[in-house]
Structure 1
Amino acid sequence: MSSMNLIPDRTPPWSTRTSNIAHFLTRNARRLGARPAIIWNDDVITWAELDGRVSALAAAMRDDFGVKHGDRVLVQSPNNNQITEIMLACFRLGAVWVPSNFRQGPEEVAYLGQKAEATLMFCEAEFSAHAAACQRLIPGLQNVIAIGDADFGSSYEALIRAHLGADVLNADVDRDDPCWLFFTSGSTGKPKAVVLTHGQLTFTIVNHLNDLMPASTPDDVSLVVAPISHGAGMHQLTQLAVGAVSVLLPSGRFDPAVAWQLVERYKVTNLFTVPTIVKLLVEHPSVDVHDHSSLRYVIYAGAPMYREDQKVALRKLGKVLVQYFGLGEVTGAITVLPRHDHHVEDVSAARIGTCGFERTGIQISIQDDTGKEQPAMGSGEICITGPAVCAGYYKDDEANTKAFRNGWFRTGDLGHMDGEGYLYITGRASDMYISGGSNVYPREIEELMLTHPALKEVAVLGIPSRKWGEVGLAVCVAEDGQDLDEASLLSTVAGKLAKYKLPSHFVFLPEMPKTAYGKITKKLIREELMERDLMPVLEDAP
Structure 2
Amino acid sequence: MNSETANRDTSLPWSTRSSNIAHFLTRNARRLGARPAIIWGDHRWTWGELDARVSALAIAMRDDFGIRHGDRILVQSPNNNQITEIMLACFRLGAVWVPSNFRQGADEVAFLAQKADVAMMFCEEGFPAHAAACRAGLPEMASVVVIGNGDFGSSYEELIAGHLGKDLPNADVDRDDPCWLFFTSGSTGHPKAVVLTHGQLTFTIVNHLNDLMPSSTPDDVSLVVAPLSHGAGMHQLTQLAVGAASVLLPAGRFDPAVAWELVARHKVTNMFTVPTIVKMLVEHPSVDEHDHTSLRYVIYAGAPMYREDQKVALRKLGRVLVQYFGLGEVTGAITVLPPHDHHLEDGPHARVGTCGIERTGLQISIQDDDGNHLPAFATGEICVTGPAVCAGYYRDEDANKKAFRDGWFRTGDLGHLDAEGYLFITGRASDMYISGGSNVYPREVEELLLTHPALKEVAVLGIPHPKWGEVGLAVCVAEAGQELDEMSLLEVLHGRLAKYKLPSHFVFLEDMPKTGYGKITKKLIREELTSRGLMPNLETVA
For the criterion TM > 0.5, the same-fold answer is yes
Q: Is the 8 A contact 1:97 1:181 kept in 2?
A: yes
| Secondary structure of 2:426's aligned partner | strand
Q: Which residue of 2 aligns with 1:356?
A: 356
Deviates more, 1:504-513 or 1:204-213: 504-513
Q: Which residue matches 2:42?
A: 42
Please give the secondary structure, in 2, of the residue aligned with 1:165: coil
- Equivalent position of 2:15 in the other structure: 15
Say if 2:277 is the partner of 1:277: yes
Q: CA deviation at 1:306?
A: 1.4
Distance 1:91 1:466 in 2: 46
Q: What residue in structure 2 maps to residue 395 of structure 1? A: 395
Q: Which amino acid aligns with 1:224?
A: V
Structure 1 residue runs without a partner (length 5+): 1-8, 435-439, 443-459, 468-497, 514-527, 533-542
d(CA) in 1 for partners of 2:309, 2:387: 33
Q: Secondary structure at the match of 2:223?
A: strand
Give 1:162's aligned amino acid: G
Q: Superposed, which structure 2 residues align to 1:137-152 within 5 Å? A: 137-152=137-152
Cα distance, 1:463 vs structure 2: 4.2
CA contact (8 A) 1:114 1:139 kept: no
User: Which letter does structure 1 place at the counterpart of 2:382?
Assistant: I
What CA distance in whole angstroms lies between the structure 1 residues aligned with 2:376 and 2:414? 14
| Per-residue deviation, 1:189 | 0.2
Aligned partner letter, 2:341: D
1:512 Cα offset (Å): 3.7
Return closer, same or farther for 1:419/1:57 CA change in 2, 3 Å cut-off: same
CA distance in 1, matches of 2:10, 2:57: 39
Opposite residue 257 of structure 1, the aligned amino acid is A
Q: Which residue of 1 aligns with 2:177?
A: 177
SS at match of 2:37: strand
| Secondary structure of 2:126's aligned partner | helix
Between the aligned partners of 2:43 and 2:107, the Cα distance in structure 1 is: 33
Q: Report how far residue 308 of structure 1 moved.
A: 1.1
**Is the partner of 2:184 in helix, strand or coil?**
strand
Contact 1:135 1:142 in 2 (8 A): no
Superposition deviation, residue 165 in structure 1: 1.0
C-alpha distance in 1, partners of 2:121/2:13?
33
Matches within 5 A, 1:67-146: 67-146=67-146
CA contact (8 A) 1:331 1:388 kept: yes
CA contact (8 A) 1:105 1:130 kept: yes
Alignment partner, residue 312 of structure 1? 312
Change (3 A) 1:430 1:316: same
Note if contact 1:184-1:192 (Cα within 8 Å) is conserved in structure 2: yes
Match of 1:56 in 2: 56
What root-mean-square deviation, in Å, do the aligned CA atoms of Structure 1 and Structure 2 show? Answer: 2.5
Distance 1:420 1:132, change over 3 A: same
Matched, 1:155 2:155: yes
SS of match in other structure, 2:67: coil
Task: Give the C-alpha shift of residue 139 in structure 1.
Answer: 3.7
Task: Name the amino acid aligned to 2:233.
Answer: G
Relative to structure 1, the CA distance from residue 364 to residue 88 in structure 2 (aligned partners, 3 Å threshold; closer, same or farther) is: same
Q: Offset at 1:11?
A: 6.8
Distance 2:416 2:478 in 1: 25
The one-letter code sitting in structure 1 at the alignment partner of 2:353 is: G
Secondary structure of the structure 1 residue equivalent to 2:15: helix
Q: Which residue of 2 aligns with 1:488?
A: none
Which shifted more, 499-508 or 291-300?
499-508
In structure 2, the residue matched to 1:254 is 254
The change in CA–CA distance for 1:358 and 1:509 in structure 2 (over 3 A counts) is closer
- Secondary structure of the residue aligned to 1:239 is helix
Alpha-carbon distance in structure 2 between the residues aligned to 1:296 and 1:230 = 22
Evaluate the alpha carbon distance shift between residue 511 and residue 350 of structure 1 in structure 2; reply closer, same or farther with a 3 A threshold. closer
What secondary structure does 1:38 align onto?
strand
Q: CA deviation at 1:305?
A: 1.0
Partners of 1:252 and 1:507 in 2: CA distance: 31
Counterparts of 2:63 and 2:426, CA distance in 1:
52
Distance 2:314 2:431 in 1: 32
Shift of 1:347: 2.2
Deviation of the 1:429 alpha carbon: 1.5
What residue identity is the alignment partner of 1:268?
V
Where 1:15 maps in the other structure, the secondary structure is coil
SS of equivalent residue, structure 2 residue 299: strand
Letter in structure 1 aligned against 2:339: R
Q: Write out aligned runs for 1:464-503 (5 A).
A: 501=524, 503=527
Determine if contact 1:131/1:144 at 8 Å carries over to the other structure: yes
Deviation (angstroms), 1:10? 9.5
The 3 A distance-change label for structure 1 pair 110 and 242 is same
SS of equivalent to 1:416: strand
Q: Post-superposition shift, 1:466?
A: 7.2
For 1:402 and 1:390, how far apart are their aligned partners in 2?
14
Runs of 4+ in 1 over 6 A off after TM superposition: none
Partner of 1:29: 29
Shift of 1:138: 1.7
Letter of the 1:318 counterpart: G
Instruction: Assess, with a 3 A threshold, how the Cα gap between structure 1 residues 465 and 508 changes in structure 2: closer, same or farther.
Output: closer
Q: CA deviation at 1:186?
A: 5.5
How far apart are the structure 2 equivalents of 1:509 and 1:236?
A: 40
Partner Cα separation in structure 1 for residue 163 and residue 123 of structure 2: 20
The verdict on how the C-alpha distance between 1:102 and 1:358 changes in structure 2, with shifts beyond 3 A counting, is same
CA-to-partner distance for each residue in 1:47-106, whole Å, 9 max, x for gaps? 000000000000000000000000000000000000000000000000000000000000
- Cα offset, 1:504, TM superposition: 3.8
Q: 1:289 & 1:509 partners in 2: Cα distance?
A: 42
CA distance in 2, matches of 1:377, 1:411: 18
Q: 1:138 to 1:219 in 2, by over 3 A?
A: same
Q: State the partner residue of 1:471.
A: none
Partner of 1:200: 200
SS in 2 for 1:126: coil
SS of alignment partner, residue 356 of structure 1: strand
What residue is the counterpart of 1:5 in the other structure?
none
Which residue number corresponds to residue 243 of structure 2? Answer: 243
Cα shift readout 1:329-385 (whole Å, capped 9, x = no counterpart): 000000000000001111211100001110000000000011000000011000000
- Asked whether the 8 Å contact 1:103–1:499 carries over to 2, the reply is no
1:476-529 CA distance string (max 9 Å, x none): xxxxxxxxxxxxxxxxxxxxxx9994744344679647xxxxxxxxxxxxxx85
Equivalence for 2:491: none
1:398–1:167 CA distance, 2 compared to 1 (3 A): same
The AA in structure 1 aligned to 2:113 is: G
For 2:337, the equivalent position in structure 1 comes to: 337
Determine if contact 1:118/1:140 at 8 Å carries over to the other structure. Answer: no
In the alignment, is the contact (CA less than 8 A) between 1:57 and 1:89 conserved in 2?
Answer: yes
Counterpart CA distance in 2 for 1:338 and 1:461 is 34
- Cα distance change, pair 508–167 in 1 and its aligned pair in 2 (3 A): closer
From the superposition, tell whether residues 186 and 145 of structure 1 become closer, same or farther in structure 2 (CA, over 3 Å): closer
SS of the equivalent of 2:205 reads: helix
1:142-196 deviation line (CA, Å, top 9, x unaligned): 2000000112100000001001011111000000000000001567501110000
Q: Percent identity?
A: 76
The aligned amino acid for 2:377 is: M
Q: Identify if the C-alpha distance between structure 1 residues 466 and 85 changes in structure 2 by more than 3 Å, giving closer, same or farther.
A: farther
1:246–1:508 Cα change, 3 Å: closer
Q: Distance in 1 between matches of 2:73 and 2:87?
A: 9
Give the structure 2 partner of residue 213 of structure 1: 213
Counterpart residue number, 1:373? 373
Contact 1:381 / 1:410 at 8 angstroms: preserved in 2? yes
In the alignment, does 2:244 pair up with 1:227?
Answer: no
Partner of 2:502: none
1:272 and 1:379 mapped to 2: Cα distance?
Answer: 29
TM-score normalised to structure 2 length:
0.80
Query: Counterpart in 2 of 1:412?
Result: 412
The alpha-carbon deviation at position 430 of structure 1 amounts to 2.2
Separation of aligned partners in 1, 2:389 and 2:362: 9
